[in-house]
Amino acid sequence: MADELIFKPVAELAALLDAKKISAVELTQAVVARTQAVEPQVRAFNSFDQADALAQAAASDARRSAGQGRGPLDGIPVGIKDVISVAGQPLTASSKMLANFVSPYDATVTEKLRNAGAVVWGRLNLDEFAMGSSTENSAFGATRNPWDLTRVPGGSSGGSAAALAAGEAIATLGSDTGGSIRQPAALCGVVGLKPTYGLVSRYGLIAFASSLDQIGPFARTVEDAAIVLGAIAGHDERDSTSFKTEIPDYRTELKQRNGPWRIGIPKEYFGAGLDPEVAAAVEKAIAFYRAQGCEIKQVSLPHTEHGVSVYYIIATAECSSNLSRYDGIRYGHRAKQAKDVVDLYFQSRAEGFGPEVKRRIILGTYVLSSGYYDAYYLRAQKVRTLIRQDFLNAFREVDVLLTPTSPTPAFKAGEKADPLAMYLCDIYTIGVNLAGLPGVSVPCGFSSGGLPIGLQLIGQPFKEAELLAIAHAYEQAHNWKDRHPTL
């Protein structure tokens, strides 16, 4: 029974819990047992607190017995990327800089999950400070892809995607700055949703690039993603970038909204560098929508070619600013051998940050420096506006855009040692962050080597209900969600 439970979707488990056919403690025990069994291979977690999780589950069962259930997430173990605050639990960002830091408070999304009755479960591995596309940059060791342990799970939210795919959680949260939810979702064969910028509070999220970061869910199904989004979305006074907008019932709407829809295919996303097997799987998805009566229209996003350059100027500039707080004085790693306060800054940061984080801080400091600000940062912000306008122009003609999520299936660990090669993994996802749009990755097939492939649907601002409905229509007609890795 335990093995059956760990791969069931939230919606199905919630029905079993409501009918008292299973208990939250039983479900949580199954997840804990699975984690203990496969974690030595997958290494998705930085830490987990089994006793705390079981106590939360027991409280959920007590609520249900008293007729006070809190909805579909009550008693469901949800894993949290180790860059989102959970009071009393480690908050490391997978960095030596924060190796011994314990969060004094809950992030808004953590509060919302607790209010929904979820069992907040574990701290999931990531690329250090969310900087990477493979979860190889973690100070605590790389996470492996459950479908092939020699390959990466994607990044930076690789732990969140791998834990879900491996049955170590029922849903998880990640953060997405340039594709860090959607790309690992595609590589691990799960659903990953990056909401519109401002829809989900960033309060309690360790900042990488504040104008790009957004928290979102990983789930087994589109319906599950809708359930989790409904729990965490909404305005928050503690986040100055949080947007006031009505939050619909995403779960109900995805079943009520029916096509046909107008689907745009950006020609710039189907050129050189796209793996033939990925292209073939995505083309089959396009053919499915066409067969459903959807209007398929080729569109152009002419500034796509500048996306990677613009992203790695803006993101590194913001990272340089955000990470200046880690100085060895107030909290975090402090060097023991320092001659004076300036040397303490240098030594603490040299010891506490890994190579990729240092690389991005240096790049960001450079593009913000006197004499280079106008040439790089200001110009990048102008091109960012053009990229956003490309999307808005396309949405005058279509409802959503359909693209590959990642140019290739999961690659071998250590294969992309060149930073630029790694940066190009995000070529289809970063535009969504630069434009502040919602995007979802949905499984759409497997490579000849048995590796998952994902398609990306990009929606209009704050139109997650429509985006999820279109994704749900595809998912319901295919059985990709029913396949799981063997560990």
All domains of the chain in start order, with CATH: 2-263+398-482 (3.90.1300.10), 305-383 (no CATH)
Q: How many CB atoms lie within 10 A of CB 241?
A: 15
Query: Following CA atoms 121, 125, 128, 131 in sequence, which dihedral angle do they give, to the nearest 10 degrees?
Result: -100
Q: CA-CA distance, 375 to 471, in Å (whole number)?
A: 40
Active site (catalytic) residues: 81, 156, 180
Buried b or exposed e, range 293-316, using 16+ CB within 10 angstroms:
ebeeeebebebbebbbebbbbbbb
Instruction: Return the DSSP state at 251.
Output: H
- Alpha helices by DSSP H, 234-336: 250-256, 276-291, 307-322
User: How far is residue 27 from each of residues 168, 371, 448, measured CA to CA in Å?
Assistant: 11, 58, 34
Determine the pLDDT at residue 342: 93
Please identify which residue in the block is written with the tokens 């199904």: 221
Determine the pLDDT at residue 418: 85
| Sequence-distant (≥ 6) Cβ neighbours of residue 94 within 8 angstroms | 46, 82, 83, 125, 126, 127, 128, 129, 137, 138, 139, 140
Are 80 and 95 in contact by the 8 Å Cβ rule? The answer is: no
Give yes or no for a cis peptide into 156 (omega within 30° of 0): yes
For residue 33, what is the enclosing H or E element?
A: helix 24-42
What does the block give as tokens for 238?
């503690």
Q: CA-CA distance, 164 to 13, in Å (whole number)?
A: 15
Instruction: Return the DSSP state at 336.
Output: S
Determine the pLDDT at residue 2: 64
Cα-to-chain-centroid distance, residue 275: 23
Instruction: Give the pLDDT of the chain (487 residues) as one tens digit per residue.
Output: 567 899 999 999 999 999 999 999 999 999 999 999 999 999 999 999 999 999 999 999 999 999 999 999 999 999 999 999 999 999 999 999 999 999 999 999 999 999 999 999 999 999 999 999 999 999 999 999 999 999 999 999 999 999 999 999 999 999 999 999 999 999 999 999 999 999 999 999 999 999 999 999 999 999 999 999 999 999 999 999 999 999 999 999 998 998 899 999 999 999 989 999 999 999 999 999 999 999 999 999 999 999 999 999 999 999 999 999 999 998 899 999 899 999 999 999 999 999 999 999 999 999 999 889 999 999 999 999 999 999 999 999 999 999 999 999 999 999 998 888 898 899 999 999 999 999 999 999 999 999 999 999 999 999 999 999 999 999 999 999 999 999 9
